[in-house]
Amino acid sequence: MPTQAPTSTGESRIGVLIGVIFVFVLLGPPIGVIAYIAAMIVWDIGNFELRSLLGIPVILIVGMPLSYLFGALPALYAGVIVGLWPRVSGSCIIPI
């Protein structure tokens, strides 16, 4: 019995788009804070002191809520662009 490839409906496309946007908004800001901390460590590598690392927990505690405040909207835009790209261009840049 041959099996048919599933056809994508409008509902599944919307579901995938919402899923992509959700992942970007949920994970984008914390990844941005971690990237910021890594960049600051690399930037300050010449003046490295052990007490520099003691500020990382404070940056994480304060930075995570602020990351959503400042980063959720850009992450939303990025998620919309990545989610709609296969629909607009006809080619899929990510395997969704």
pLDDT-based confidence at residue 46 (cuts at 50, 70, 90) = low
> 40 lies in a domain?
yes
> How many distinct structural domains can be found in the chain?
1
pLDDT of residue 29: 92
> 15 lies in a domain?
no
pLDDT of residue 83: 83
> 21 lies in a domain?
no
pLDDT-based confidence at residue 10 (cuts at 50, 70, 90) = low
> 54 lies in a domain?
yes
> 11 lies in a domain?
no
pLDDT surpassing 90 at residue 43:
no
> 25 lies in a domain?
no
> 14 lies in a domain?
no
pTM reported for the whole predicted model:
0.67
pLDDT surpassing 90 at residue 26:
yes
Rounded to 5 degrees, what are φ and ψ at 93? -90, -15
What would the mean pLDDT of 24-37 be, rounded to a whole number? 90
List C-alpha distances in Å: 92 to 47, 82, 86, 95: 44, 9, 5, 7
